[in-house]
Amino acid sequence: MSDKIFRSGFVSIVGRPNVGKSTLLNRILGEKLMITSDKPQTTRNQIKGIHNVPGGQIVFLDTPGIHRAKTRLNKFMVEEALSSVQGVDLILFLVDGAFDPEKEAGMIKEVLSGVEAPVILVLNKIDLIPKGDLLGRMAAYGETYPFKEIIPVSAASGDGVEQLVQLVHGLLPEGPCYFPDDILTDVPERFIVAEIIREKIFRLTRDEVPYSTAVVVDSFKERETGVVAIQATINVERDSQKGIIIGRKGDMLKKIGSQARQEIERLLDTKVFLELFVRVSGEWSDNSRMLKEFGYDS
């Protein structure tokens, strides 16, 4: 009888920047929905990823990394992450397997203080843990908080991910199918397009430039030919950053646009005409009006 129970619920994925939250969710979904890079603080918004399993539906919440916030943008990101641990059915707390458990203890206790939902500690990047150290690290983390389970995985290779999904499904309550079973997320295509463009900036530029950019899709139209015409603006904070984004003779902007267009075409399964503009928008990351305009508003 219990096998016929349909289990569903909301599962928040939280942790420090660059521990692999988005990579893990992409691996679970089997699609690249969340943007990733080797730079921390790539994810800025809380994004739902919907995963259907036999007898259930898991709605994952990908969240920004928890870090010390200075600008209004950083504070928004941290608020997005911390708010996600309230009102969910389960929490996956992701840590980098190479990190020292003792140094993570304070942050874990602070973030999970007052949390009512059960918490699974996900020890990611197990390929970076020296042989023989895994069980010791799991035991050390077990002393920091009463986790429901501690699961070692490699989001990059997929090791342990299916076991994690099975565990998550088994811990969810009986519930409805919250979303149609043919969608992966509830965010609009325009949002994903802007994120793809921003990811290419993260991957192709350096220093502070990726952190000082915000992408806004100004126009998204399907022509009679089936081609989707997209116009988007890359907002930066200084003229020097605009110069870097554009590059010599426009080379960098062309590279960003070309790589983004190819990925957007795979997403939309159609030809795309992508036109990018670059605009200096002052210190937008610390301006409440512009943050709201760019989609960073709690």
18 is in an annotated binding site: yes
How long, in residues, is the chain?
298
292 is in an annotated binding site: no
Nearest to 64 by CA among 88, 37, 82: 82
151 is in an annotated binding site: no
271 is in an annotated binding site: no
65 is in an annotated binding site: yes
Helices (H), the chain: 21-29, 72-83, 101-111, 134-142, 161-171, 189-204, 239-246, 251-268, 288-293
In tens digits, what is the pLDDT along the chain, a chain of 298 residues? 445 899 999 999 999 999 999 999 999 999 998 988 888 889 999 999 999 999 999 999 999 999 988 899 999 999 999 999 999 999 999 999 888 898 899 999 999 999 999 999 999 999 888 878 899 999 999 999 999 999 999 999 999 999 999 999 999 999 999 999 999 999 999 999 999 999 999 999 988 899 999 999 999 999 999 999 999 999 999 999 999 999 999 999 999 999 999 999 999 999 999 999 999 999 999 999 999 999 997 6
Residue 238 CB: number of other CB atoms within 10 A? 15
22 is in an annotated binding site: yes
Q: How far is CA 290 from CA 67, 293, 296, in A?
A: 22, 5, 9
Q: What is the pLDDT of residue 283?
A: 94
Q: Give the three-class secondary structure for 27.
A: helix
226 is in an annotated binding site: no
Q: What is the pLDDT of residue 3?
A: 59
Q: What is the pLDDT of residue 131?
A: 79
Counting Cα atoms < 13 Å in the Cβ hemisphere of 61 gives 25
19 is in an annotated binding site: yes
Q: What is the pLDDT of residue 70?
A: 85
DSSP annotation of 174 reads B
In angstroms, rounded to a whole number, what is the distance separating the alpha carbons of residues 176 and 103? 40
12 with 61: CB under 8 angstroms? yes
In angstroms, rounded to a whole number, what is the distance separating the alpha carbons of residues 249 and 239? 16
15 is in an annotated binding site: yes
At 47, which amino acid appears?
Answer: I
4 is in an annotated binding site: no
Hey, what are 63's tokens? 């969240």
Q: What is the pLDDT of residue 1?
A: 40
126 is in an annotated binding site: yes
User: Measured at the alpha carbon of residue 21, what is the angle toward residues 270 and 173, in degrees to the nearest 5?
Assistant: 95
